[in-house]
Structure 1
Amino acid sequence: MTEQISPPAGGGLDIEIRKKKRWPWILGAVVVVAAIVFGIVYSQVSNRDKAFGTTLDVATWSTDIAAENLLQYIATDIAPDHGITINPVQIDNLIEINRAVDAGNVAGNFFEHQPFLNDAVAANGFELTLAAPTFTWDQATYSDRYRSWDQLPRGATIALRDDPAGQAIALLDLAQAGQITLKPGKDTVAGLPQLGDIATNPKNYQFVQVPIGQLARSLADVDAVVVHISDVYAAGLTEDQILARHPAPKGSEGGLVVSTKHLDDPNVVKLIDTFKDPRIAQFLQTTDNKLIRDTLGPIS
């Protein structure tokens, strides 16, 4: 069974309280609108044919703070040795962050894996390349009620991301854990399995599809959530809530995405070489940064 989870309706504050509390909502709205406008401005002005200088903007998605922290390390400790300066920027829109790269207004982005990029290219006609796979996302199943697969009961409700790429990786995690099996040809990232591709479901789990930004909040309403740890880390989910960890499926590595049209740009070549530097993998293995250590891993 699948269904869609929607956020609950708002409460009934009286008029006087609404007036007193109005300014935080206005401030929050201004911040959100500013972030969205920032992304749109980056994508609206096209610099497709303009060469990049030695200072290059690289965008992260504003909620992926682990990738943002890793990008900051690369900018500070790796990029200068390759003769470039990386300027990290945030774009709070999953379409506009790719559009900005396609338009040549940022040199690259650093937030997605190949399945997600494939969806973006197919939907929007972008000419983008995952030029330097750099890290893997740690995966986990979270639960507030159960501590092992054996405890998770028959008919348990499990939440997954509602986008095709995120859903595929969650299903591969469940298959790797022996909780479901997938149809032939659908048991790899390239197969992009969806809920209709489940071959067997021995414990009759009930699946719900949830937008990425609501997954952490949905945990209170379901028995388990399968997700990238970095997707819910900023929302406050903790190691104590993890029922099981999963290895990242092969083909789901994250890294630097650039415009295909700029692959031969000399400074973009330097940027790509920067993200291929072996010191990044060493840093991922040895860093004391708890945020990165708990959510990202090196590519083996």
Structure 2
Amino acid sequence: MRNTVKTIVAISAASAVALGASACSAPSDTTAASDKGDKNAPLVIAASPTPHGVILDYVKDKLAPQVGLKLSVKQFTDYRLPNKATEDGEVDANFFQHKPFLDSYNKENGTHIVPVVNVLIEPLGVYSKKIHKLSDLKAGSTVSVPNDPSNEGRALKLLADNGVITLKPGVGAAAKLTDVKDDKGVKITELEAAQTAPRLADVDAAVINGNFAIGAHLKPSSDALALEQSKGNPYANFLAVKKGSENDPRVQKLAKLLNSAEVKKFIEDKYKDGSVIPAFGPAKS
């Protein structure tokens, strides 16, 4: 068991996760209810498989029937697609991202997705199969980071806060590789976020998003060499919809359920390893 270096990450608003691979294709009979104009139809929601899909399946099976809500959960393994599907009306909502990622996506794609309610945080961590503490990283060591802008900056900030690299003053979690003032001889490689865990053995260390750590059976509380602190962390993942759908009664029902005591207990019981932490409350637009 490795010693976890508890890290206070001073992060500014920055981004979400980025997955790789391809999305699950939705059958033709799962057109979003909003397209049909039927507010009594199931709420179709796009989500990453873990932990978002797992949590939604719990809500769908255990809580939604109690409030007369029908859910249809469509899992995606590519974070580039849920927002597009939401914007195009193929789904009614999504649950997979945080604010910095959404802001970047909306800006780059001209979309109009807005957050509704915060649900959870997946702390970013540094993992390795070759070293036992970050001070073991020497000149020539390799460290992989997610290559999407929001997560890359977040990863570089985590490395800087733990003394692995030095960033230019003031860049914070918006950092890019060009903002690395001193890499101390460590070679930083960029990978799609979904590849950081599968290719962990190819590098000396990797910065991995919480959801991918879960999928790779890594336990943040015991396996991470450095881990973001949850308190004050701005990277809460939230329920999101296309602007104008925030007051859809089905969306409001789901938002309330996702912030319920039952879901809090489910998350804490399911993810005792600290890979997922409840982070309830209103999401900033």
TMscore range, shorter length:
0.7 to 0.9
Asked if residue 297 in structure 1 is aligned to residue 282 in structure 2, the reply is no
Asked if residue 215 in structure 1 is aligned to residue 215 in structure 2, the reply is no
User: Once superposed, what is the RMSD of the aligned Cα atoms?
Assistant: 3.1
The corresponding residue for 2:179 is 197
3-state SS of 1:217 partner: coil
1:143 Cα offset (Å) = 1.0
The corresponding residue for 1:255 is 238
The corresponding residue for 2:117 is 132
3-state SS of 1:268 partner: helix
The corresponding residue for 1:171 is 156
Aligned-partner Cα distance in 1 for 2:224–2:88: 40
Could you tell me whether the CA contact under 8 Å between 1:46 and 1:103 is conserved in 2?
no
Asked if residue 186 in structure 1 is aligned to residue 171 in structure 2, the reply is yes
1:39 Cα offset (Å) = 8.3
1:223 Cα offset (Å) = 0.8
3-state SS of 1:150 partner: helix
Extract unaligned runs of 5+ from structure 1. Answer: 1-31
The C-alpha deviation readout for 1:254-283, integer Å capped at 9, x for no partner, is 121111121122222222222233443343
3-state SS of 2:266 partner: helix
Could you tell me whether the CA contact under 8 Å between 1:134 and 1:255 is conserved in 2?
yes
The corresponding residue for 1:206 is 187
The C-alpha deviation readout for 1:192-222, integer Å capped at 9, x for no partner, is 2222223444x33211001123222322221
1:231 Cα offset (Å) = 1.3
- When Rg is computed on C-alpha atoms for both structures, the one with the higher figure is 1
Equivalenced residues, count = 258
Aligned-partner Cα distance in 2 for 1:264–1:274: 15
3-state SS of 2:172 partner: coil
Q: Indicate the percent of aligned positions where both proteins have the same amino acid.
A: 25
Could you tell me whether the CA contact under 8 Å between 2:213 and 2:275 is conserved in 1?
no
What letter matches 1:197 in structure 2?
A: D
TM-score relative to the length of structure 2: 0.77
The corresponding residue for 1:53 is 40
Extract unaligned runs of 5+ from structure 2. Answer: 1-20, 281-285
What letter matches 2:186 in structure 1?
A: Y
Aligned-partner Cα distance in 1 for 2:165–2:67: 46
Counterpart of 2:101 (choices 104, 116, 127) is 116
- Larger RCO (CA within 8 A; separation ≥ 6): 2
User: Equivalences for 1:1-300 in 2 at 5 Å?
Assistant: 37-38=25-26, 50=37, 52-53=39-40, 55-61=42-48, 64-188=49-173, 192-201=174-183, 203-237=184-218, 242-248=224-230, 250-285=233-268, 287=269, 289-290=270-271, 293-299=273-279
3-state SS of 2:164 partner: coil
3-state SS of 2:244 partner: helix
Q: Flag the 1:92–1:149 CA change in 2: closer, same or farther, 3 A.
A: closer
1:160 Cα offset (Å) = 0.4
Aligned-partner Cα distance in 1 for 2:78–2:133: 35
Could you tell me whether the CA contact under 8 Å between 1:52 and 1:268 is conserved in 2?
no
